[in-house]
Structure 1
Amino acid sequence: MWPERPDPERWATVAEALEDRYLTRPVFLDTAEVTALEADLNGTVDLLFSLPERLFDGDAHAFAAAVGLRPEQARLALRVPGQRPARIGRADLYHDGTGFRLLEFNLSSALGGLQTPELNRLLLEDEGLAAFAASEGLAFPDTVGELAAVIREAAEEALAETGRPEHAPRVALMDWHAGYAKTGPEIRATARLLEPHGIEAIPCHTGQVREQGGRVTVDGRPVDVVYRYFTLGELTADASSLATAEELLDTFARCGVPVLSPLRTSMHGNKRALSMLWDDRCVETYDTAERELVRRFLPWTRELRPGPAVIRGERHDLLDHCLRHRAELVLKPSHGLGGVGTVVGRSVSDEAWAAALAQAVGGRYVVQELVRPGPEFFPGQEGGDPEPWTLNWGAFLFGRRYAGAFLRGLPTDRADVISYDNKAYAGCVFDARSGEEAGRV
């Protein structure tokens, strides 16, 4: 499927940002599937953003504490008053053969996989696939183009408020200084991809920021928007980091430079927030459509704590239920990436499961219903008959638009946790709706 002589610049961008392991074919979605997925993602974000009002009488600090933020993290996330969480994120999903199920929602701008459409473009260099895509009206959202639109809107709003002359938006793609050595390659790749969309993007870290003449500058260049890769955990690692972070956020606010996404967005994107959508008190507030969305799209998820919980309409002791239903459940840290710390009940013994629960109870963990994804068959990496693989779909949402997806996959017999840390392979998606919208492949 891969072209024999791919465009070298495009290939370099993909190989630098992804892990240089690729599925042997793309995957396809029809128009109805994309439309339904976009609606479900938006409905879920609406619910997550409504949690402070539904459960905490609008008290954002109480919500922050409930999702596990330490007091200093909450103060930092809420330091700039009036900021709203941003609709920027990537949902991790399985497809169970009947529809998508949401595993978690990374509501943050610190997202990997933005370069995946370059895989689509590389694959279209294969004449056979290009002809098939044209005959079926298949295309793909330009993920980076959708991101550029969000950045441009934020820059225009900021420039309008400060009265500065209009010019091409200049965005700092910024990570914490200590983390930039690892994330730099992906950030630089994203900067290159933003340029054709009229965005001047500067890959950088927080140590390069200065305030000059009322403007935020990076290496002497004024910036209009900061696109955030740094996280609350990095900013509050120690007293020195916290003080630096406070000064940095104050500088951005003083100079009128918006941060995408605001730090407060992350409060809505951890797994403990997701578990609140199954909280008894929250369920009581749902209308019929909201109740149906949660039941169909979101696997049952609860914070792991001693005491009773409503499970499938009946009240049970939560720990006792988890012990008795090991093969149907997954234990996950409420914060964290890459599947680190995840325990899949069916893959461990009763004794190991009980020990994991005992260690996690009352801590920052959630327990979630196991989703059994249907296999996708791919040609073998070395040829031969198609083999069953399991896919983790990463679907982007920018604003209210589905902005494409990237795939991580592993052979089904070793796919308990699908992540790059577990040597997953990358892939891409074509869909019919993008072909209709774009009028082209």
Structure 2
Amino acid sequence: MTELSRTYVDACLRGDGGLATAVARAELPPAFEEAWRPHLLPRPWFVRASETAAFARDLEGLFDLLLSLPERLFDGDVERYAAEIGLEPALTALLRRAGSGVPAKLGRADAYHDGTGFKLLEFNLGSEVGGLDMDVFDQALLRVPEFAGFAREHGLGHVDIAARMAAVLRDRARPALSGSTEPVIGLIEGRGGVGPYGRLMRATQEAMAEQGLDLRIGEIGDVRARADGKLTLDGTPLDLVLRNFAASQLLDDPEGPGVAEPFFRAHEAGRTVLFTSLESGLYSHKSALALLSDPRRADAFDAAERALVERVLPWSRALRASGPTGLIGLCRERRERLILKPGAGYGGLDTFVGWECTDAEWAKALDLAVERGGYVAQERVVPRPEPVYDPVTGTVDDWIAALGFFLTDEGYAGAHARVNRADGGAIVGMSSNPDTRMVGVFTHP
């Protein structure tokens, strides 16, 4: 537990300064209010600035290591690399379409703090990661006088994710601008995606509008290509498409790859920028992290690189029938210390938690993971619990957080947190645990 968390909770218990109800009284903009108000924690999350800065530097180094894997381990053969991490040829071909070979440094690294430092759980790369609007929470909270006073007293800081993202979008859109000094951006989902995700997209649109950007929402089938190749949405030319659809959505849609082809052509011709390209998906697969952790590959990295991997990445191994002899047996023995994750999964879906399984259930899960392919076994990271005061009940409970650290070409771009009660199960994710809450993150000295 950080000392500042205890200080905050103690103030809430004393009824000092109105901190207990600060989140409830924070005035949020309409779209953010609709999307997130029911899911907010009653207090922000606190992290040490020095630890955050050090972890962000490690993430930049890890990003470079991930991008180097095809060259280091497979003589530059991307197809061999993709096959090794479990990608099917059709998916590999789609991920490489309109790629430059150097994916944009845009993503979110999810991590637990285990009491000694941050440990990486997964590295989600690409523009579809979401959460780019969460700094709205921080700014709203700072407009509450009682919290603003607490922030000044304790030297709290935060990084505006939306502002950092807006700068990136302006820079990337510049080559395709059609006369205006500001780009028109399309936030584009896959077919049928606006229905379930529209409220989250509108919160992103609202946050970008605060940054002076004109962002339009649509689905991939709503976009048209003009005769000159430039993409339009409802007749409005788009300078940049902020991709909110994943390659897997295109493959699951019988018309998906064909409908996406104008996006690729417009990007290649410089008429409308596709940001990010799908090639980010080559490196966000969890089996790529397993390659970094695999002792059979250790000679491909120097001592400093190996130390970086050991510092931030839990023991991780790809599970496949052709894997190392004894690996499955080792995983059976280490049930209480392991979790099985689908390499391309998200939100904790289709995950098997060893310490919540019986031996028989775990054996079945391992067999299923090998049969399905693409699964990774990862060492359990026990997150440090933090106290949270509930202003409705007046009680204090322990919660745990999965911190999401954002990275752009300019480096660290802010953080948010998904949080659960410490006794609420192993998965901290809104897709798989309805009790998960979202919260902004402040750094402190």
The normalised TM-score by structure 1 is 0.90
Q: CA deviation at 1:357?
A: 0.6
1:386 has 2:420 as partner? no
Given that 1:19 and 1:426 are in contact with CA atoms closer than 8 Å, whether structure 2 keeps it comes out as no
Superposed CA deviations along residues 115-153 of structure 1, whole A, max 9, x for unmatched, are 211211222233222112112322211101111011011
Cα distance change, pair 384–7 in 1 and its aligned pair in 2 (3 A) = closer
* Aligned pair partner of 2:439 in 427, 432, 437: 427
Question: Which structure 2 residues correspond to residues 73-92 of structure 1 after superposition, within 5 A?
Answer: 73-80=91-98, 82-92=100-110
Q: What is the alpha-carbon distance in structure 1 between the residues aligned to residue 101 and residue 272 of structure 2?
A: 12
Matched, 1:368 2:382: no
1:179 corresponds in structure 2 to 193
Indicate how the Cα distance of structure 1 residues 379 and 218 shifts in structure 2: closer, same or farther if over 3 A, else same.
same
TM-score normalised according to structure 2 size: 0.89
- What is aligned with 1:257? 272
Work out whether residues 306 and 318 of structure 1, in 8 Å CA contact, stay in contact via their aligned partners in 2: no
Residue in structure 1 matched with residue 153 of structure 2 by the alignment:
135
Distance 1:109 1:407 in 2: 18
Which stretches in structure 1 are left out of the alignment for 5+ residues? 310-315, 434-441
In structure 2, what is the Cα distance between the partners aligned to 1:11 and 1:223?
Answer: 26
How many residues were matched structurally? 422
Matches within 5 A, 1:255-334: 255-306=270-321, 309=324, 317-334=326-343
**What is the distance in 2 between the residues matched to 1:118 and 1:328?**
37
Counterpart Cα distance in 2 of 1:184 and 1:212: 26
Whole-Å separation in 2 of the counterparts to 1:245 and 1:69 = 20
Separation in structure 2 between the aligned mates of residue 68 and residue 285 of structure 1, nearest angstrom: 20
AA partner of residue 99 (structure 1)? G
Deviates more, 1:195-204 or 1:45-54: 195-204
- 2 CA distance for matches of 1:400 and 1:52? 24
Q: What secondary structure is seen at the aligned counterpart in 2 of 1:361?
A: helix
Aligned pair 1:235/2:247, yes or no? no
What amino acid sits opposite 2:202 in the alignment?
R
Q: Find the residue that maps to 1:2 and give its secondary structure.
A: helix
TM-aligned CA distance change 1:205 to 1:248, over 3 Å: same
Distance in 1, Cα, partners of 2:253 & 2:190: 13
What does 1:182-221 correspond to in 2, within 5 Å? 182-214=196-228, 215-221=230-236
Q: Decide whether aligned partners of structure 1 residues 425 and 81 sit closer, same or farther in structure 2, where only a CA change above 3 A counts.
A: closer
Structure 1's 126 and 203: CA in aligned 2 closer, same or farther, altered over 3 A?
A: same
Paired residue secondary structure (2:320): coil
Deviation at 1:345, TM superposition (A): 0.7
Compute the displacement of 1:417 (Å): 0.6
* Counterpart secondary structure, 1:341: coil
Q: Quote the Cα distance in structure 2 between the aligned partners of 1:305 and 1:19.
A: 42
Q: Report how far residue 46 of structure 1 moved.
A: 0.9
**Aligned residue in 2 for 1:438:** none
Larger displacement relative to structure 2 (99-108 or 195-204): 195-204
Secondary structure at the residue paired with 1:427?
A: strand
CA distance in structure 1 between the aligned counterparts of 2:172 and 2:197, rounded to whole angstroms: 24
The structure-2 alpha-carbon separation of the partners of 1:387 and 1:83, relative to structure 1 and needing over 3 Å to count, comes to same
How many percent identity over aligned positions? Answer: 37
1:12-64 per-position Cα deviation (integer Å, ceiling 9, x unaligned): 33233337222221122233112102101111111111111111211222222
Give the match for residue 354 of structure 2. 345
- 1:313 — aligned with what? none
Equivalent position amino acid for 1:428 in 2 = G
Structure 2 partner of 1:69 = 87
CA distance, structure 2, for counterparts of residue 147 and residue 329 of structure 1: 35
How far is the alpha carbon of 1:238 from its aligned partner?
Answer: 4.5
**CA deviation profile, 1:352-404 (whole Å, cap 9, x unmatched):** 10111111115121100000111111113533342111111111112242221
Instruction: Report the 3-state secondary structure (helix = DSSP H, G, I; strand = E; otherwise coil) of the residue aligned with 2:39.
Output: coil
Amino acid in structure 1 at the alignment position of 2:190: W
* Structure-2 separation of matches of 1:51 and 1:127: 49
Q: Quote the RMSD (CA, aligned, Å).
A: 2.0
Q: Give the deviation of 1:81 after TM superposition.
A: 5.1
3-state SS, counterpart of residue 419 of structure 2: strand
